[in-house]
Structure 1
């Protein structure tokens, strides 16, 4: 089960990019869901794709071939601790 405290928010510029990235994850059998970006995060459209921390490495190939810039903010195991992490950028 994806939970905000154990998750990585993959940030995109538009909701179209968000749904495209989500479909790329589905095609790669990576569990993900489209969700609003956390309050205060920099995402132009406010849409993000939520990944469980355990599947971030499995998601990297889909992220790396995406034809748009991607950012991410991953929560550590400690509650309420978000840190920005660049996992890929085009």
Structure 2
């Protein structure tokens, strides 16, 4: 079973369809059960849709790391596990 950290780490690959089927299903299962991760995934989707509309250049690795760090910090403040 995946935990919140696993989902955060795999979120970008999950949304781009790059994960193996089994991992994909585990992410979906976790997100269905965890409101905080569901919210994080919705925020990422919203952001990706906004970026697509702006024809922005691809996201840098530094930006991805910054998002993961922000999600991690947010989770520590608001997430009991």
Q: Do both share a fold (TM > 0.5)?
A: no
TM range (shorter): under 0.3
Superposition TM-score, scaled by structure 1 size: 0.27
- Which one has the largest radius of gyration? 2
Superposition TM-score, scaled by structure 2 size: 0.28
**Structure in which a larger fraction of residues adopt strand:** 1
